[in-house]
Amino acid sequence: MTAILSVRDLHINFGGVKAADGVDLEIFPHELVAVIGPNGSGKTTFLNLCTGYISPSQGSVTFEGQAITDLRPRQITRRGIARAFQIPQLFTGHSLIDNVMLAIAAQRGIWQPFRPLAQREYLDEARRTLGLLSLDEAADLPTATLPEGMRKLADIAIALALKPRLLLLDEPTSGVSTAEKFPLMDKIVSVLRAGKITALFVEHDMDMVERYADRVLVWDAGRVIATGAPGEILRSADVLERVIGVS
Ligand SMILES: Nc1ncnc2c1ncn2[C@@H]1O[C@H](COP(=O)(O)OP(=O)(O)OP(=O)(O)O)[C@@H](O)[C@H]1O
Ligand SMILES: [Mg+2]
């Protein structure tokens, strides 16, 4: 099968820290891949490199057969990759529905999303997307007033509104109570499966990884040190010691 995303020999240093130290990997269509690894191992940096927020000093990122290594974030979004952030990126003074409409309009290069003529189309699309994640009732609330879990979900809704073929999620359920985690991820995964969206999610909770990932990528010190099915990876003594700190 041809990879949807293929990364070759990616490098980036921050001072003396090798945040990407020769990353090589492939993501295949319709996979749901978990990215695990200790704090500071380069997981978020990897997402930044794939979405144009950071340029690598060496190496390449190819999406659907085309090099995207040196493109800007907005150009990459238009190619079909969207992301949600470790800390949700929202216009906190605006309502949730306005945030989604702004994202849709920005992606299309339209900078007056609230023009009366354009509004109906964006509004319908934004409402549809919020509905997918059961956020309808929060649509008109200012995002600043939403609880943390809902803000994470809102950031994901905004990414989904961009109709990505590849979605990168940075700790989608961090800051969410244990009781809420599974229902939240169930919702996200059902939208991904229904839309045949390939996705990668950074995760520290191994129960989430075990339950949702088709495959796991293990990061350590800017490198992918192992990949495989959750059942295999989460029983590896080396992975347990390096990532979870149990030996
Ligand atoms: N823009 C930046 N400028 C300087 N240093 C950075 C930058 N981004 C990341 N780093 C450093 O690179 C390393 C990898 O950071 P990164 O945020 O990718 O880790 P992470 O695996 O996402 O960690 P966490 O699990 O805590 O989110 C860290 O040492 C971090 O301090
Ligand atoms: Mg991170």
pLDDT tens-digit readout, 120-137: 778 888 999 999 899 999
Q: What percent of the chain has pLDDT over 90?
A: 67
Ligand 1 site-directed mutation target among 11, 13, 17, 57, most atoms within 8 Å of CB = 17
Q: What percent of the chain has pLDDT over 70?
A: 95
Assess whether the C-beta atom of 19 lies below 6 angstroms from ligand 1: yes
Distance, CA of 21 to chain centre: 21
Assess whether the C-beta atom of 99 lies below 6 angstroms from ligand 1: no
Give, using CA atoms, the residue closest to atom 4 of ligand 1.
Answer: 14
Domains located in the chain, CATH noted = 1-80+164-247 (3.40.50.300), 89-161 (no CATH)
Query: CA 26, CA 133: separation in Å to the nearest integer?
Result: 28
pLDDT (0 to 100) of residue 115: 62
Query: Alpha helix locations (H) across 195-229?
Result: 206-212
Query: CA 17, CA 221: separation in Å to the nearest integer?
Result: 9
For the question of whether the overall pTM of this predicted structure is more than 0.75, the answer is: yes
- 110 pLDDT tier (thresholds 50, 70, 90): low
Distance from Cα 27 to the centre of ligand 1, integer Å: 22
- 114 pLDDT tier (thresholds 50, 70, 90): low
Residue 156 near residue 90 (C-beta atoms within 8 A) = no
pLDDT (0 to 100) of residue 111: 62
Q: Mean pLDDT throughout 54-70? A: 97
Query: CA 99, CA 6: separation in Å to the nearest integer?
Result: 31
Query: What is the token pair recorded at 122?
Result: 């964006």
| Secondary structure of 36-57 in HEC code, one letter for each residue | ECCCCCCHHHHHHHHCCCCCCC
Distance, CA of 118 to chain centre: 28
Instruction: DSSP letter for 143, please.
Output: G
Assess whether the C-beta atom of 67 lies below 6 angstroms from ligand 1: no
Assess whether the C-beta atom of 17 lies below 6 angstroms from ligand 1: yes
